[in-house]
Structures are given as structure tokens and as C-alpha cells.
Amino acid sequence: MNTASAPNPVLRVPPAAPEVAAAHFAASLALHTDVSDVAAALAAGAGGDPGFTLVDCRSADAWDQGHIPGAVHLPTALIAERAGRLLDPARPVVVHCWGPGCDGAARAALALALLGYRVKEMLGGFEYWVREGFGHQTPTGHTRRDPDPLTAPVDAADCGC
């Protein structure tokens, strides 16, 4: 096959105009955050307050298996019933579920947004929290794993992004 005449799969659809790309990525950052940024905010929060409420929207069994210390447990199915008792509507909410293969956090974020909450989804979920080496609570106590070198820098404070 002559690769010189084959269409470039990356550029088959041309990149968006800069102003379109800027609007898209600004909107994406307004809706998403990542585990490293959440961990940094939780660690640096003035007086222990990161400025948002972290919500774990997984089931009780998943929560019991392991969860992020300080997170509020609010399963997606119970958001309409319990959000008003557990969350301050004036405070931003960051939701997470299992990981990137699960869209539970997106469903929870939608449910919270429909109730009037300002919300972001934590990309990577609990899976990447653990894989990046951040501490979590399990039935046997507080624990952490070494960072997975495929998900987090192991010899640096951050990835530099």
C-alpha cells in the first residue's frame, strides 16, 4: 500500500479553528478536574477546606471497599432524596465514581446540576486516585499504594502539566 497517498487519519478531519478549540477546552475544564488536582486541593485547603465538596457517588458496597478520606458518600440513586441534607448548594461539588470505564460520575453530575449545584467530574475516579498513590480508607484502615508509573510520576512532585 502506498502510504504517501493514504489519508492521514489524524488530519482526515481538520483541527478546529483556534477560537472553537479554546471554547471547547475552556468548557471541558469548567466541567472536569483530575485526581492530582483534587489531591493537591485537599492537601492545601486553608484550614482543611479545599473550597469544594468531594462526593463519591458509588454504592455502599463500593464505598466500603475503599474511599477517599473526607469525601461525602452520596450514591447517584439517592441524590434527589439526600443532596439537600448533605450538600451546601452554594458550594461547588466534585463527583467521582469508580474510574474512566464508568460513567456513573457523569450521571451524578447531571443529577446534581439539575438540582442547581455547580459541579465538576473528577476524571479517573477512585481507580486513578489509588493508582496515582493517594491515600484512601479501607475496612482495615488508612492505606496507600505506590504510584503506578503509567499513571503518575514516581520521582517528581507532579507531571509538570
Residue with grid cell 470505564, as numbered in its chain = 101
pLDDT at 3: 55
Q: Could you give the domains of the chain? A: 33-143 (3.40.250.10)
Partner residues linked to 121 by β-bridges: 32, 95
Among 91, 138, 96, CA closest to 118 = 91
pLDDT digits (tens, 9 = 90+) for 93-138: 999 999 999 999 999 999 999 999 999 999 999 999 999 999 999 9
pLDDT at 75: 98
Query: In 7-155, which residue ranges form alpha helices assigned H by DSSP?
Result: 18-31, 35-44, 60-65, 79-86, 104-114, 125-131
Pairing of the two strands 141-143 and 136-138:
antiparallel
pLDDT digits (tens, 9 = 90+) for 89-100: 999 999 999 999
pLDDT at 106: 97
**pTM for the full model?**
0.90
Residue 4 has pLDDT above 80, yes or no: no
Residue with grid cell 503509567, as numbered in its chain = 150
The pLDDT confidence band at residue 5, using thresholds 50, 70 and 90, is low
pLDDT at 126: 97
pLDDT digits (tens, 9 = 90+) for 57-76: 999 999 999 999 999 999 99
